[in-house]
Amino acid sequence: MADYLNILTEEKNGVLYLTINREDKMNALNHATLEELKGIFEEVIDNRGIKAVILTGSGEKAFVAGADISEIASLNEVNARKFAENGQEIFAMIENCHKPIVAVTNGYTLGGGCELAMACHIRIATANAKFGQPEVNLGIIPGYGGTQRLTQLIGRGKANELMMTGDMIGAEDALALGLVNHVLPTKSEAMEKAEEIISKIMGKAPLAIGMIVDCVNAAFLPEDGYQTEANSFARCVKSGDYKEGTSAFLEKRKPIFKGE
């Protein structure tokens, strides 16, 4: 596997370990990191030596704290739709991959980070993990499939509440909601749990595992939902609230929204 700038890769016994490595920015997903993810998952799909993937974030504080706000602060309606569709396409590649993909969510798992974790087949959280879709604080909405996958995973009422309030929830609440499969006290224990599950799955018939992925995904065919999400995301960036929300974050102050 080639070297990447923002993602550490290590292959061991057929398992590819991926670590989003922008610790000083809470592993926020900038464009370059997203493109690296795309390249890596294209290889995961093609490379017969890779049987499974474990994806985590560098350090103890964050899995991924969202899309990189410094890059999304100046979108227009046209490139915002492209921004959302590109992320949706990459995350769909992960969700549809016939090899098991397990996310170990260590710390902040917010916005695009929560969306990335939800695109993986299984999620293991550390006890300090915090989940949320705080896009509403920036005058936007989740754009990488979050409006669809969160609703699928935890149901309409709770998904509405989380996305409308932008609130964060802890790992135990995420477990109770079915957002994560397991919670372990530390990152190393969470990694061990991921390895235990992966090793069990690797002992099963790979073709059958791929068919399970296809069938589970077929239970949700929300193509219109994703298009609505990309269009709505693009509409948000036309607003003054979006400019105010992103500027306020970057200027480290509270936003004042006007609803326009």
Please identify every residue annotated as catalytic. 115, 135
Report in angstroms how near the CB of residue 114 gets to ligand COA at its nearest.
9
Tokens of 203: 């002992």
Nearer to ligand COA, 66 or 100 (CB): 66
Residue ranges binding ligand COA (CB under 6 A): 25-26, 28, 65-70, 108, 110-112, 134-135, 137-138
DSSP letters spanning 154-207? H-HHHHHHHHHH---EEHHHHHHHTS-SEEESSHHHHHHHHHHHHHHHHTS-HH
Beta-sheet strands, E only, within the chain: 7-12, 15-20, 52-57, 62-64, 101-105, 108-110, 122-126, 130-132, 169-170, 182-184
- Judge whether 111 and 166 are in contact, CB under 8 Å: no
- Judge whether 125 and 175 are in contact, CB under 8 Å: yes
Report in angstroms how near the CB of residue 110 gets to ligand COA at its nearest.
4
Nearer to ligand COA, 66 or 255 (CB): 66
Nearer to ligand COA, 19 or 193 (CB): 19
Q: In what order do the strands lie in the sheet with 169-170?
A: 62-64, 108-110, 130-132, 169-170
What type of residue sits at position 104?
V
Report in angstroms how near the CB of residue 233 gets to ligand COA at its nearest.
10
How many Å separate Cα 102 from the centre of its chain? 12
Nearer to ligand COA, 66 or 145 (CB): 66
Report in angstroms how near the CB of residue 60 gets to ligand COA at its nearest.
12
Residue 155 CB neighbours (<10 A): 12
